[in-house]
Amino acid sequence: MSEEKIVTAALIIIGNEILSGRIQDANLSYIATKLNDEAGIRLAEARVVPDIEAEIVEALNAMRAKHDYVFTTGGIGPTHDDITAESVAKAFGRKLIRHPEAYRRLVAQFEARGMEINEARLRMTNTPEGANLVENGISVAPGFQVENVYVMAGVPQVAHAMIDWLAPRLEGGKPVRTKTLVCSLGEGNLASGLSDIQDRYAEIDIGSYPFYETGNYGTSIVLRHTDEALLEKAAAEVADLMRSLGGEPRDKI
């Protein structure tokens, strides 16, 4: 894969519990960082969808056509609200089958632990036909992959274990490097000079983020690009801009 190629991914977070506000997603930031740092894959968009098959299918089909990779979290457990496997099968027009290897492992583990093997638990071994398993060291409910779609758990410990296993196995481009400069100036003071720097370095993603904390007010300027030398050059200009306005740049809030 060429060094210039930008490889993108979408994340589909499946879960009523996120949309209701009951719990806060704890996977997006972890997955985005892992994909970039270990696989050179950029998370380009994310969607949070409810536990409704038609909504999941629509998001899957839109995202898998638009991006190199699609990752999903949530909905792979044994209960009635876990409908991700069925939804992925539908999106790809594949049959839902009991995955032989997932089945073998689940039965072996549950027998070893002396836990009841029932129909609900066996549902966790359903995947679209032709799926490959995604490993994790925690849960017996496997994730799986169909073409460019990777299905992972919603529970953060399990989702993180799955992306930890996956990331080094995925093909991407160069990781994006980040350089952050912080100062006590307001965004409005930096804006004009920053815009000039952005114009000169159109290829660098330059973000400006204000922060307000008691006794601590200012702006973080975040520069992102794959080329570290280019990044350092632009960052030096941002540092000069800050100094010229009376704001000594530092690394952290």
Round to whole Å and give the CA distance between 32 and 244: 35
Q: Distance between CA 191 and CA 241 in Å, rounded?
A: 10
Backbone angles phi, psi at 96, to 5 degrees: -90, 125
Give me the least distance between CB of 4 and its own copies, in Å please. Answer: 19
Choose the binding region for its own copies from 21-29, 85-93, 165-173, 232-240 (rule: CB under 8 A). 21-29
Q: How far is CA 80 from CA 48, 76, 145, 202, in A?
A: 19, 10, 22, 49
Task: By CB under 8 A, tell whether 22 contacts its own copies.
Answer: yes
Stretch that binds its own copies, among 47-55, 83-91, 225-233, 236-244 (CB under 8 A): 47-55
In which residue are the tokens 């952005």 written? Answer: 198
Pick the closer one to its own copies by CB: 1 or 191.
Answer: 191
CB of 104 to its own copies, least distance (A): 17
Identify any residues that bridge with 250 across adjacent strands, giving them in sequence order: 182
Nearer to its own copies among residue 202 and residue 229 (C-beta): 202
Contacts with 101 (C-beta within 8 Å, 6 or more apart), sequence order:
133
| Nearest of 12, 1, 3 to residue 159 by alpha carbon | 12
Give the interface segment with its own copies, choosing from 16-24, 125-133, 143-151, 167-175 (CB under 8 A).
Answer: 16-24
Convert 68-81 to b/e letters by CB count within 10 Å (16 or more is b). Answer: bbbbbbbbbbeeee
If one asks whether residue 108 binds its own copies (CB under 8 A), the answer comes out as no
DSSP per-residue codes, 60-124: HHHHHHHSSEEEEES--SSSTT--HHHHHHHHHT--EEE-HHHHHHHHHHHHHHT----HHHHHT
Least distance (Å) between residue 186 CB and its own copies: 7
Please answer whether residues 205 and 224 qualify as being in contact, where contact means their C-beta atoms are separated by less than 8 angstroms: yes
Closest contact distance (angstroms) between CB of 45 and its own copies is: 6
Residue 190 near its own copies by CB under 8 A: yes
x/- map, 119-158, its own copies, by CB under 8 A: xxx-xx-------------x----------------x-x-
Q: Which stretch binds its own copies (CB under 8 A): 29-37, 97-105, 143-151, 164-172?
A: 29-37
- Regarding 251 and contact with its own copies (CB under 8 A), the answer is no
- The distance of closest approach from Cβ of residue 40 to its own copies in the complex, given in angstroms and rounded to an integer, is 13
Which residues make up the interface to its own copies (CB under 8 A)?
Answer: 16-26, 28-33, 36, 42-51, 55, 77-82, 115-116, 118-121, 123-124, 138, 155, 157, 176, 178, 186-192, 194-195, 198, 205-212, 222, 224
